[in-house]
Structure 1
């Protein structure tokens, strides 16, 4: 059975006084009057731990009068005989009141200390929660939870993730939590705009029955909170100050989130500007040679076309076509790299068969290199899971890897391996060329980095270093955009293996993905050479 709060508070003092009077009546015939006084003072002191100050003082006065009536001679009379009894009762009453005052003050200070500790804990908990919050909505919900614990009525909030709008109108970036009426909403807007608290005890609009508290940051306010006071409740200035401290924590958190968002936006813009500058530098430097070749071939055809043989004209046209394709590949890779490294990119993915992606890449290679493409040997597992991917991007990845292998490994077979492994789907392009020097392996996937040692050893037919150094960087960006990885592994008997591993998701027909198996050579391609040991 649960006792009412008032009865629970008055029960201990009642038991103490009952025990005291029972003991005094029992030992009255055996002890002196001064010792009975000590019992009375002890009871008054103990009861003060539960009773308010005025109640304790009144109860002590009644106890002294009852003590005089029962124990001071003449007994059962309020008459006093001699100044000794007067001093005894006056001293007993003064001591009881002094103890009551001191204990009441001590209890009040203890309550204040406990309340301050709870408020400090509340501020610290809110600060930690706001530090970990990532959105204004989450932060506002945390603040509302803390404010609701202060008063029984829910606290509406009005705040913005950006600058204060010119008009008092809810819109994008303005968050309203709660259901304030029209007057309350107008008060929230006014409090936000002025950045000062309203309500009783604040020095502004004392006639209001609520507190309007701004969410103040270092530079400006970022919203306002409404704390509705219960009827017939005396406003507590200390409670108002604590609520304002909570709101200031929220204002600082919103200001910090806004600053972090601006810093991220500035960082993204700086990275975009750096990428654009690098692209311009690459275009101005690496596009000159193919453009000069195209211009020279076109000038020869225009000025001397009638005096040239058909073979010479065919060779010049082939040069123009080859250099144009090279420019197109460089442009595609550069634009894809810039797009894939942009923040917040969302790929347009669909369920695709790995065999179709490989076939598309092989067709593009055969169109550009009809003779050299005969060296490409295909190793594809008999059963492969579907990929949730952008097929055009993956085909471009394989196209770049095959083109690099054909360029830097002009002799020997090129192997294109596709198989299902426990870690996902493996797409690997392997060659038996000179490989990548150890010094270049750490930076070969960085934008605008080329295998300069290989370019010097094996230039193309024109003797120039072709490419802007973005092909492998674009390949890595494509792999990362699909949640995969792209790495380089040196082969044990010479050559390089560029390996892309892509995650395999649950298949669209809810059937489990095929178990990993060893690759099986296709019957219409030459037999593959032996696979390297790990």
Structure 2
């Protein structure tokens, strides 16, 4: 009933202009009666019939034309006010008038139907086009199903019930495997599952289960259905074959979109699986390669101590023990980096965040690398008044330690390695700088990829062992920086060497005030005493960088590296 009222109003509005045309034609006939001959008067009903057919259906238009000819005979053909025709030419005039009027009415009504059909098909094509564009922007079953339901409601005048697969079709009917829009009855739910599995429509007009009062329409892809829709015919203003085919076209378009989404997700899962397999293979290859040499060195030194320990002098035994310690440390660092990289690449990783001091993190790193830096090449410079940083202190210390070890490995003594920290806008920037040979432009991004070791370089001129690495250290460093919402970048230095800069965002400071740290007598706030600088590995007054930087309370000494 809700849809019948607008239809009746629309039909009534179409009669108004048609009746107005006929009224105008009869008014003109009465006004011209006696002034023009009968043949010219007969043209007015023919014209009115053609104009009225623009608004009226064919049958009403023909009936009005027939009544107009009969009325014209009664009112204007002599003898008037009778249906008798005395003259043959008058009879011929009435016959021609009737035939022409009927032909014109039929032709105009037919053209109007064709125009309405063309407009209807254009509206259908526009609906399908807009529906296809909307589906292109939706990449999940839930929004695609909602778009289909809206399009079908616009097409049919009533919202259908939908069932859409979330993923693959389960072997048994499983409510968790589908998404339902609407509340189907138990029979309708069974029909939806049957339609989904058979990938065929059924209901009136489909040739299957015509006794039903619903249309069951599958959401068909190329080889299977990915959902089903049920349309209750009692809720439709009219249910014909054309309407069902239009609804099926929308369902098929949605089914193809759902199939593309399933294929994309399957391809993405396959790519992720292949990538994970590739990473595992590369990891095993790297471990088998990079563990072999340290293990062989450890085994050789240990067997020498066991078999020849009594014949070796104290210095030789110390060197062998140091070799074992160095290689074991290398293995431990390689293992830590590899495990950390795997943990940070896992989805939903949770960091142990807390408010940390940049000075304490840098001091911890300096104490760790001191054992591997007998030449004391590592120097630190920190800007005064640095804010607290909300971070995972263990991960950040691992990042800086990896960068320092990398700088020591790829630069020769006595070139210094500088560790700096300063504030830059709303970020805190840690930098590790060396005076090594630098990195070629082609490798400045590739070195951050896992298992990329950069261009091989020979051993140092001092005759030490050739530098080695598993190619995971820098990848771990960038993963740690990004896990904190920051970024790790490589910047070449103007006078040679490399600067790795880790920029981390600063969070609003904690509400609790930090207790004041007691200062030694005679020490100004923000300054560093020579004793503290020596103990922490920092140059007194700080180490100057390539460009202008805030000073740490005192000028750099005359011999500070540039």
TM over 0.5: same fold?
Answer: yes
1:61 to 60, 63, 66: 66
Q: 2 CA distance for matches of 1:226 and 1:358?
A: 67
Q: 1 CA distance for matches of 2:440 and 2:75?
A: 110
Q: How does 1:387-466 map to 2 (within 5 A)?
A: 387=390, 389-409=391-411, 410-422=413-425, 424-436=427-439, 440-441=443-444, 443-450=446-453, 452=455, 454-457=457-460, 461=464, 463-466=465-468
In structure 2, the residue matched to 1:515 is: none
Q: Contact 1:379–1:521 at 8 Å: present in 2 too?
A: no
Moved more, 356-365 or 241-250: 356-365
Q: 2 CA distance for matches of 1:380 and 1:405?
A: 22
Q: 2 CA distance for matches of 1:212 and 1:460?
A: 81
Q: Contact 2:356–2:389 at 8 Å: present in 1 too?
A: yes
In structure 2, the residue matched to 1:326 is: 330
In structure 2, the residue matched to 1:126 is: 131
In structure 1, the residue matched to 2:268 is: 264
Residues 92 and 385 from structure 1, CA distance in 2 versus in 1: closer, same or farther, beyond 3 angstroms? Answer: farther
Q: 1 CA distance for matches of 2:446 and 2:440?
A: 11
Q: Is 1:378 matched with 2:381? A: yes
Partner SS, residue 309 of structure 2: helix
Partner SS, residue 149 of structure 1: helix
Residues 10 and 296 from structure 1, CA distance in 2 versus in 1: closer, same or farther, beyond 3 angstroms? Answer: same
In structure 1, the residue matched to 2:254 is: 250
Q: Is 1:13 matched with 2:18? A: yes
Q: 2 CA distance for matches of 1:459 and 1:325?
A: 22
In structure 1, the residue matched to 2:154 is: 149
Q: 2 CA distance for matches of 1:224 and 1:357?
A: 60
In structure 1, the residue matched to 2:200 is: 196
Q: 2 CA distance for matches of 1:213 and 1:381?
A: 72
Residues 481-515 of structure 1: per-residue CA shift (max 9 Å, x gap): 4343222222223332111122345556699xxxx
Deviation at 1:454, TM superposition (A): 4.3
In structure 2, the residue matched to 1:529 is: 543
In structure 2, the residue matched to 1:186 is: 190
Q: Contact 1:151–1:229 at 8 Å: present in 2 too?
A: no
In structure 1, the residue matched to 2:214 is: 210
2:167 to 162, 166, 191: 162
Residues 163 and 210 from structure 1, CA distance in 2 versus in 1: closer, same or farther, beyond 3 angstroms? Answer: same
In structure 2, the residue matched to 1:477 is: 479
Q: Contact 1:275–1:338 at 8 Å: present in 2 too?
A: no
Q: How does 1:87-126 map to 2 (within 5 A)?
A: 87-126=92-131
In structure 2, the residue matched to 1:492 is: 494
1:223 to 213, 223, 227: 227
In structure 1, the residue matched to 2:286 is: 282
Moved more, 102-111 or 77-86: 77-86
Partner SS, residue 187 of structure 1: helix
Residues 173-223 of structure 1: per-residue CA shift (max 9 Å, x gap): 411111111111111111101110011111111122221100100121111
Q: Contact 1:381–1:418 at 8 Å: present in 2 too?
A: no
Partner SS, residue 108 of structure 1: helix
In structure 1, the residue matched to 2:320 is: 316
In structure 2, the residue matched to 1:514 is: none
Q: Contact 1:148–1:155 at 8 Å: present in 2 too?
A: yes
Q: 2 CA distance for matches of 1:406 and 1:443?
A: 20
Q: Contact 1:375–1:412 at 8 Å: present in 2 too?
A: no
Partner SS, residue 287 of structure 1: helix
Q: 1 CA distance for matches of 2:343 and 2:463?
A: 29
Deviation at 1:248, TM superposition (A): 0.8
2:47 to 42, 45, 48: 42
Q: Contact 2:158–2:236 at 8 Å: present in 1 too?
A: no
Q: 2 CA distance for matches of 1:119 and 1:506?
A: 56
Q: 2 CA distance for matches of 1:395 and 1:180?
A: 59
Q: Count residues with an aligned counterpart.
A: 520
Residues 385 and 51 from structure 1, CA distance in 2 versus in 1: closer, same or farther, beyond 3 angstroms? Answer: farther
Q: Contact 1:379–1:415 at 8 Å: present in 2 too?
A: no
Partner SS, residue 300 of structure 1: helix
Q: 1 CA distance for matches of 2:133 and 2:406?
A: 52
2:372 to 369, 386, 401: 369
In structure 2, the residue matched to 1:502 is: 504
Q: Contact 1:201–1:235 at 8 Å: present in 2 too?
A: no
Q: 2 CA distance for matches of 1:338 and 1:102?
A: 78
**Alpha carbon RMSD of aligned pairs, Å?**
2.7
TM-score by length of 2: 0.86
Q: Contact 2:375–2:414 at 8 Å: present in 1 too?
A: no
Moved more, 318-327 or 485-494: 485-494
Q: Contact 1:372–1:406 at 8 Å: present in 2 too?
A: no
In structure 2, the gaps of 5 or more residues are 1-5, 514-525, 534-539, 549-562
TM-score by length of 1: 0.90
Q: 1 CA distance for matches of 2:18 and 2:174?
A: 59
